[in-house]
Amino acid sequence: MKRMTMILSILLVTTAMPVLAAAGPVPGPGTRPTEQYVDRVALADDHRDLKELERLVRRLDRAMMTHNASLVLSVDRGLSRYLAAEIAESRRELAAARAEVLRDRSGRVDDVRDLRREEAELNRKVALAGTLSRIQGRLDNGAMSLRRSILFELRGMARNEIQRSAMEFQEDRIHGSVSYPAPPPPR
């Protein structure tokens, strides 16, 4: 058990390090991250997601060419994990978008648009996860085609997310962002 915990810890650290390194320097103690820092982290995370999806597409292609059932099952597991993580992330982003709509009255139109987009993306990811669960383990042509369609749709969503993150980063660079003091610790 300790060995598995150690392996998972190493895996977590090695996968998180490139994302954090790409984000740039960590804000100092007593300050919140700037919007630019948050945007850089999001952009690095979006690129990592796209690479993961492209890796899954290549594995599925290899599985289809070689008729390798165990590789298909491995793709299913990887895709399930990816979708579960994306759904959890979308739920967090949706909650943040709702909070932004309530907090920011001046940019309300943009915030409501972002909220609608987050809701639509979450609903679509949940639908894709449902479709995947229905075809998991199936090796017929229809199931293989659906798997491929799911991967390509997710890859398109990841590319769109990269574009949005890059635009937000540019906007924050142009308009500048400030590092705010951290809130006092709870008592």
Q: In whole angstroms, how far apart are CA 167 and each of 39, 54, 67, 177?
A: 9, 23, 42, 15
pTM: 0.73
- Rounded CA-CA distance 129/121 in Å is 12
Q: What is the pLDDT of residues 34-56, one digit of tens each?
A: 667 777 888 889 999 999 999 99
Q: What is the pLDDT of residues 149-179, one digit of tens each?
A: 999 999 999 999 999 888 877 876 776 654 4
Q: Do 149 and 79 touch, CB atoms closer than 8 A?
A: no
Low-confidence ranges of the chain (pLDDT < 70): 1-35, 107, 172, 175-187
How buried is residue 130: exposed, middle or buried, by Cβ count under 10 Å (0-12/13-18/19+)? exposed
- Rounded CA-CA distance 90/126 in Å is 10
pLDDT at position 23 is 47
